[in-house]
Structure 1
Amino acid sequence: MLNIELLPVLLRFLFGGSAVAISAIVAKKFGGRLGGVFAAFPAVYLAAILGLSIDYKGSELLLISEQLSKGALVGMLADICCALAASYFILRSGWKKGLVYSLLLWAMLAPAIYFVWFRF
């Protein structure tokens, strides 16, 4: 069966939820651009690294953290493309279709970037 630890899940919830809440508050108070900076806070990445530190130690933790970090770079590149595409598509197609188009682009780009980066 699945062996899911509660603490790493709670860390992801805490970091992710806090980042979303702070992003929304900052966007409302200071504008969407500054809120967007907080929306890009790497909450899931930090929580994942902290979660790994519970399960791994020493050189094994370093190795798995390096692998996670390389994968995170792939995701971040796809995120940048998604954000650029969202600003383009939302202006031209409305926010619902624009978000769908940009997320579909992310879903295609993330595996493509991963394949190119790690397979060649």
Structure 2
Amino acid sequence: MRTSELLLRFILGGLAVVLSYVASVLLPWKALGGIFAAFPAVMIVAVLMMGISQGSDKAAAVARGSVYGMTGCAACVLTVLYALRTTGLWWFSLLLGVTVWFLSAMAIYKVRGWMQARAKG
């Protein structure tokens, strides 16, 4: 592997960690920060950073939110696979997969919230 490839992976991985941490701190819904933390390589670091800086309760909220994002990852993989087979365009397939990942994770999050509210009321 070339040095430029390693550097790019380091920068993109670091950027993913920073963005998920910023999302979990700035967004009012901590579970949404967990969805961003669901990039598999990022989840552990995001929970670790949140635990160190804001404590176990906030880290647990990020970990709970990552369940939605991880479920969305399955939708992402299936979408990318199907889109690649159908279109042969890797860039389109990845863009579509990331979009489906986010939308499906948010849908699962919203449905769970709706179901909890309905159970209480």
Question: Partner letter of residue 65 of structure 1?
Answer: A
Percent identity of paired positions between Structure 1 and Structure 2: 29
Is there any run of 5+ residues in structure 2 with no aligned partner, and where?
Answer: 1-12, 18-37, 116-121
Question: Partner letter of residue 68 of structure 2?
Answer: V
Question: Partner letter of residue 41 of structure 2?
Answer: A
Aligned to 1:105: 100
Summarize the Cα distance change of 1:41–1:75 in structure 2 as closer, same or farther, 3 Å threshold: closer
Match of 2:60 among 61, 66, 73: 66
**Take 1:106 and 1:53, find their aligned partners in 2: how far apart are those partners?**
25
CA contact (8 A) 1:81 1:106 kept: yes
**Take 1:55 and 1:96, find their aligned partners in 2: how far apart are those partners?**
36
Task: For CA contacts below 8 A with separation 6 or more, give which structure has more relative contact order.
Answer: 2
Deviation at 1:110?
Answer: 1.8
Summarize the Cα distance change of 1:96–1:52 in structure 2 as closer, same or farther, 3 Å threshold: closer
TM-score (normalizing by structure 1): 0.57
Aligned to 1:55: 53
Aligned to 2:40: 42
TM-score (normalizing by structure 2): 0.56
Deviation at 1:78?
Answer: 0.4
CA contact (8 A) 1:79 1:106 kept: yes
Deviation at 1:62?
Answer: 2.7
Deviation at 1:112?
Answer: 0.7
How many residues align? The count is 83
Structure 2 counterparts to residues 11-50 of structure 1, below 5 A: 13=14, 42-50=40-48
Deviations 1:39-62 (A, max 9, x none): x98321111122123223xxxx23
| Deviates further, 79-88 or 41-50 | 41-50
